Each structure stands twice: as C-alpha cells, then as structure tokens.
Amino acid sequence: MPRARRESSAPRRVGAVHVTREGRPKTAYRTRAEAASAANLAWTLNGVELNTYRCEVCHQWHIGKRFRDE
C-alpha cells in the first residue's frame, strides 16, 4: 500500500526560486539596508515587527517574522 504524502511547513523551492509557506515567491533585497527599510515600512504601515536575514539559498536579503525563544 503506498504511503500518504505529508505536507511540509518548510518553504518549497521551485527551480532556482524559493517561496513562502503560502506559495508566493519571497521578496529578495540586494542589501541589508534595503531589507531594513522594507521592514521599517511594514512596522510603520501595519505595526508588524520583521527582521532581516541573509538567505542561505539565494544569498540575498529577506525580511520575516521574528522567531520566539520559548
């Protein structure tokens, strides 16, 4: 009997582009300053606190929600 496939909560890669859990392509920024500016805009417009990080897949900068230390 074949095994059922489980959906992963990890981002999926499509070719050379990686995507969010929702299936949308991640926005890449060339510099940390550009990513920080986008994170600050998200805070100003929506009150969402985001961090910047260098991606190990594409080596560009992304923004995302902070992880909780529990």
2-52 pLDDT, tens digit each: 666 555 444 444 444 578 878 899 999 999 999 999 999 999 999 999 999
CA-closest candidate to residue 29, choices 67, 6, 70, 60: 60
CA distance 8 to 38: 28
* Confidence check: pLDDT of 69 > 80: no
CA distance 38 to 30: 12
| Domains of the chain, residue spans | 14-65
